[in-house]
Amino acid sequence: MNQLNVLALIGGISKNSLNKRLYAEVVKHNTTSLSFQTFDIASLPFFSQDIENNPPENVVNFQNLVQKADAVLLITPEYNRSFPGVLKNAIDWCSRPPGKNLWKRKPAALMGASPGKIGTFGAQQHLKNVCCFLDMALMNQPEFYLEASSSMDENGLLAGSVGFLQKYLTAFEEWIVSE
Ligand SMILES: Cc1cc2nc3c(=O)[nH]c(=O)nc-3n(C[C@H](O)[C@H](O)[C@H](O)COP(=O)(O)O)c2cc1C
């Protein structure tokens, strides 16, 4: 199978972010033809209509990456039962101006890790609404919610979760090819 380029956007921006660690596990355990790269969404300015028609170079670079990617993987923490503003800001930048929605029919999948029992279920529910509105080709199944306190340690994912991660990535690969 040809290599498929996946842009991973990570909503956790702290140095020791759980979700950055989850992304590292994705790269480490990937057995598919998916090739991952990421972009530091914390480097984007706040979206403003004042600059949307002439955005800074960093935004243009980001928009080009989204446009060229075969698919996107959104990896989100849960903030107050939703997803963090930094991720919404990145999504907004590629949704405008009208008629230039770069997310349209873009194959996409969601993942997330939180220490709590619901493992970002609330965050992903809100994120799904936005993805559907923007007409992303969102993989609905399988779902990936990681309760990190029982599934990860300082060395990464515990053995019991690695198999599921690999099945998830294989399903995503099949989804991208089918789209
Ligand atoms: C502002 C804020 C709100 C949070 N709200 C939730 C929440 O609703 N549910 C949850 O499970 N964890 C919540 N947490 C805990 C985060 O899941 C935890 O800090 C996690 O490590 C954040 O992901 P990150 O490490 O990738 O940045 C919240 C944390 C912050 C800072």
Ligand 1 lining (C-beta closer than 6 Å): 12, 14, 17-19, 77-81, 114-116, 122
Band of residue 122 on the pLDDT scale cut at 50, 70, 90: very high
CA of 132 to the centre of ligand 1 (A): 24
Q: Strand, coil or helix: what is 36?
A: strand
Q: What pLDDT sits at residue 159? A: 87
User: Residue 21 CA: which ligand 1 atom is closest?
Assistant: 26
Q: Which of 34, 121, 47, 35 is closest to 77 using CA atoms?
A: 121
The model's pLDDT over 54-108, given as tens digits with 9 standing for 90+, comes to 999 999 999 999 999 999 999 999 999 999 999 999 999 999 998 999 999 999 9
Percent of the chain with pLDDT over 70: 99
Both tokens of 51, joined, read 């600059």
DSSP state at residue 70: S
This prediction's pTM? 0.98
Residue whose entry in the numeric block shows the structure tokens 């779902």: 143
Q: How far apart (Å, rounded) are the C-alpha atoms in residues 174 and 83?
A: 26
Q: What pLDDT sits at residue 172? A: 98
Q: How far apart (Å, rounded) are the C-alpha atoms in residues 82 and 127?
A: 7
Average pLDDT, the chain: 97
